[in-house]
């Protein structure tokens, strides 16, 4: 495994590796962008990339542009040594590990912005977040030029936003959405879980429980108003005294619009998405429901 910090060296190394690939049904280059502090969720993306591609590139970069001034950039967890060990074990070929100065050598003058779907959910709570994400993902895709890029559905809005950007800007890459990996007790894996106290960790189980409740609720209601489903999910979360709800929303996916009343037999895909703070730690989770089929 090669660990590369500069854009120029990454480009020449990839060019050399690509010229050595023989005929194959796999994609030449699969790419997994991350902010590091790797867990099984990240490893599942690497596994998907490994299975689909000849060369697997992993990036580890905590992107300052996607954090607001009062957010947790400074305390975002980092452990590069451990990340590199896990990446090697998972079969990564190249780790791109740039410093901030390599990605942003001077003041940022060009940004990429997707409108509409970025103004709801996390975009409403984190106003600068998605411009930071699309700008850095556009840069990373330009640098790595992968055939496929793998993103987790834990960040389902991010998948929708990046897919929209790739479509609108005619970027030549397949965005592959991968399922959410959970701890055995249901908590969605996240680098930020490390910040939870014992009580917060225990009470955070209401998140996955509320989404399971949503799945059961729609099995019992063939026709319903999204607001009633939202109320049912909120009620479960409110059982946890430490849960401070940022949002609970039921929207169409991937359009992220308010749904009409859901009618039995009418196909619709909904996302139940939530962001909840436990102490200083903000967690997100979601489930996507395919109804009426
Ligand atoms: N539990 C998970 N299952 C599947 N994919 C995941 C999971 N957690 C993160 N990912 C994906 O890994 C990629 C990198 O995410 P990131 O490095 O921000 O990790 P993270 O655990 O989501 O961190 P945090 O939520 O604390 O920001 C993203 O595409 C994200 O959706
Ligand atoms: C896609 C990403 C690596 C961009 O910084 C980040 O938003 C993440 O880890 O999900
Ligand atoms: N996976 C989302 C990265 C962030 O919270 O900034």
Q: Taking the chain (293 residues) in consecutive chunks of 10 residues, what is each chunk's mean pLDDT?
A: 98 97 95 98 98 98 97 96 98 98 98 98 97 99 98 98 98 98 98 97 98 98 96 98 98 97 95 98 98 89
Architecture of domain 191-291: 2-Layer Sandwich (3.30)
Taking the CA of residue 66 as reference, the ligand 3 atom at the shortest distance is 6
Q: Is 155 in the pocket of ligand 2 (CB under 6 A)?
A: yes
Residues 287, 211 contacting (CB under 8 angstroms): yes
Closest CA to 31 of 96, 76, 97, 128: 96
pLDDT digits (tens, 9 = 90+) for 83-101: 999 999 999 999 999 999 9
Going from the Cα of 115 to the center of ligand 1, the distance in angstroms, rounded, reads 23
To 5 degrees, how large is the angle CA 72–CA 235–CA 255? Answer: 65
**Known binding-site positions for (R)-pantoate:** 66, 158
pLDDT digits (tens, 9 = 90+) for 159-212: 999 999 999 999 999 999 999 999 999 999 999 999 999 999 999 999 999 999
Going from the Cα of 138 to the center of ligand 1, the distance in angstroms, rounded, reads 18
CA quadruple 78, 82, 87, 93: dihedral positive or negative? positive
Residues 171, 165 contacting (CB under 8 angstroms): yes
Residue with tokens 């980092």: 78
Q: Is 44 in the pocket of ligand 1 (CB under 6 A)?
A: yes
Q: Is 159 in the pocket of ligand 2 (CB under 6 A)?
A: no
Q: What is the ipTM score, two decimals?
A: 0.98
In the structure, which protein residues have their CB atom closer than 6 angstroms to any atom of ligand 3?
35, 66, 155
Taking the CA of residue 284 as reference, the ligand 1 atom at the shortest distance is 25
Residues in the chain: 293
Domain positions in the chain are 2-178, 191-291
pLDDT computed for residue 293 by the predictor? 78
pLDDT computed for residue 132 by the predictor? 98
Domain 2-178 has CATH 3.90.320.10: no
- The residue contributing the CA closest to ligand 1 atom 14 is 34
Q: Is 128 in the pocket of ligand 1 (CB under 6 A)?
A: no
From 34, 42, 56, 137, active-site residue:
42
Sheet holding 53-60, edge to edge: 2-4, 94-96, 53-60, 27-34, 148-152, 174-178
SS3 288: strand
Cβ contacts of 231 within 8 Å, gap of 6 or more: none
Going from the Cα of 42 to the center of ligand 1, the distance in angstroms, rounded, reads 6
42 is catalytic: yes
- The residue contributing the CA closest to ligand 3 atom 2 is 155
Q: Is 136 in the pocket of ligand 2 (CB under 6 A)?
A: yes
């Amino acid at each position: 495994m090669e660990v590369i910090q500069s854009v120029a060296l990454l480009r020449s190394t990839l060019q050399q590796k690509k010229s050595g690939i023989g005929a194959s049904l796999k994609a030449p280059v699969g790419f997994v962008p991350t902010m590091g502090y790797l867990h099984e969720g990240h490893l599942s993306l690497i596994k998907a990339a490994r299975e689909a591609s000849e060369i697997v590139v992993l990036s580890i970069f905590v992107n300052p542009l996607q954090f607001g001034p009062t957010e947790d950039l400074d305390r975002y967890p980092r452990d590069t040594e451990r990340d590199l060990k896990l990446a090697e074990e998972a079969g990564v070929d190249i780790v791109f590990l740039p410093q901030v100065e390599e990605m942003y050598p001077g003041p940022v003058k060009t940004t990429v912005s997707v409108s509409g779907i970025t103004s709801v959910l996390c975009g409403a709570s984190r106003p600068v977040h998605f411009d930071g994400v699309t700008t850095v993902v556009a840069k990373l895709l330009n640098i790595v030029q992968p055939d496929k890029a793998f993103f987790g559905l834990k960040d389902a809005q991010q998948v929708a936003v990046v897919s929209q950007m790739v479509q609108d800007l005619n970027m030549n890459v397949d965005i592959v959405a991968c399922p959410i990996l959970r701890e055995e007790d249901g908590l969605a894996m996240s680098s930020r879980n490390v910040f939870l106290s014992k009580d917060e960790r225990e009470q955070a189980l209401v998140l996955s429980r509320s989404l399971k409740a949503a799945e059961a609720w729609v099995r019992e209601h063939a026709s319903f108003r999204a607001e009633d489903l939202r109320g049912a999910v909120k009620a479960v979360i409110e059982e946890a005294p430490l849960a401070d709800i940022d949002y609970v929303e039921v929207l169409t996916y991937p359009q992220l619009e308010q749904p009409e009343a859901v009618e039995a037999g009418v196909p619709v895909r909904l996302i139940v998405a939530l962001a909840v703070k436990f102490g200083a730690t903000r967690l997100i989770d979601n489930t996507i429901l395919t109804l009426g089929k």
